[in-house]
């Protein structure tokens, strides 16, 4: 009798431990270290986002997530991403809000294209629906493989509560994105720029985001200068 009770107790403890492990690994939360590692590994977060894979630190990802959770915008626009790190963070915040949708726009240029800025034509080789669906985020994000200009020409009536710019890093390119999308940003909404401190990155030269950011004369401008190799710039309309 004692052995039966002891065995049942051990089995219950084992079952509870396995359920906890399942919840830790399969349920998704930016505050769960194992979930954060999965997101970083799968969606290609890198040092430019101030992350720490080992500690499950999402770096700038926490900033984006916190903004979306608090602002609760109906529509979010994300311009550019190598493998989907920031779009996935934005989509996760919408999922946790049970509200909102991300429009993710990327031209999908090959690495040798002058406007690729490190892109590998990933979005032309992968199915975005399946890619974001791997961690259950596909219902909160739509992907558009096209240029910023083509997107604005095709979808003329969309406005946004949050816009993230990380596409063409040339001065002309980032200025064009600002001019295209600032009018689409709702009053009180945020426009966020990545790489506002970068002038060169390895083989990539002539970054222009930093110059454009310096020229912007808006009282709402906030700069996160860390890490020194990238930086994040935030504007409120």
CA distance 138 to 129: 6
pLDDT for residue 16 is more than 90: no
The average confidence (pLDDT) of the chain is 86
Residue pair 102/91 in contact by the 8 Å Cβ criterion: yes
Q: Residue 163: is it exposed, middle or buried by C-beta count within 10 angstroms (0-12/13-18/19+)?
A: buried
CA distances from 87 to 21, 24, 56, 202, 213 (A): 27, 22, 18, 24, 22
**pLDDT at residue number 32:** 81
What are the residue ranges of helices labelled H in 80-170? 85-97, 122-125, 128-133, 148-154
CATH class belonging to 31-236: alpha beta
Question: In this structure, what are the phi and psi dihedrals at residue 106, rounded to the nearest 5 degrees?
Answer: -145, 135
Share of the chain above pLDDT 90, in %: 59
The structural domains of the chain, with segments of one domain joined by +, span 1-28, 31-236
Kindly tell me if the per-residue pLDDT of 79 is higher than 70. yes
pLDDT digits (tens, 9 = 90+) for 193-208: 999 998 876 666 788 9
Answer positive or negative: Cα dihedral of 147, 82, 67, 129. Answer: positive
Considering only 23-37, 90-104, 188-202, which range has the smallest mean pLDDT?
23-37
Report pLDDT digits (tens) over 148-206: 999 999 999 999 999 999 999 899 999 999 999 999 999 999 999 999 998 876 666 78
């Amino acid at each position: 009798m004692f052995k039966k009770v002891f065995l049942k107790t051990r089995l219950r403890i084992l079952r509870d431990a396995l359920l906890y492990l399942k919840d830790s690994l399969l349920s998704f939360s930016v505050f769960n270290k194992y979930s954060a590692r999965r997101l970083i590994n799968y969606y290609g977060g890198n040092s430019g986002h101030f992350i720490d894979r080992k500690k499950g630190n999402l770096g700038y990802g926490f900033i984006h997530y916190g903004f979306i959770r608090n602002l609760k915008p109906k529509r979010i626009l994300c311009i550019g991403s190598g493998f989907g790190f920031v779009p996935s963070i934005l989509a996760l915040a919408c999922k946790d809000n049970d509200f909102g949708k991300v429009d993710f726009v990327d031209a999908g240029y090959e690495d040798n294209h002058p406007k690729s800025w490190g892109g590998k034509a990933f979005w032309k080789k992968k199915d975005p629906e399946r890619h974001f669906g791997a961690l259950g985020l596909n219902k909160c994000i739509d992907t558009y493989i096209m240029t910023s200009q083509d997107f604005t020409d095709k979808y003329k009536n969309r406005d946004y509560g949050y816009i993230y710019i990380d596409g063409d890093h040339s001065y002309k390119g980032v200025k064009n994105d600002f001019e295209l999308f600032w009018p689409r940003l709702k009053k009180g909404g945020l426009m966020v720029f990545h790489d506002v401190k970068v002038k060169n990155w390895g083989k990539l030269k002539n970054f222009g985001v930093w110059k454009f950011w310096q020229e912007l004369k808006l009282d709402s401008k906030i700069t996160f200068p860390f890490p020194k190799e990238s930086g994040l710039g935030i504007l409120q309309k």
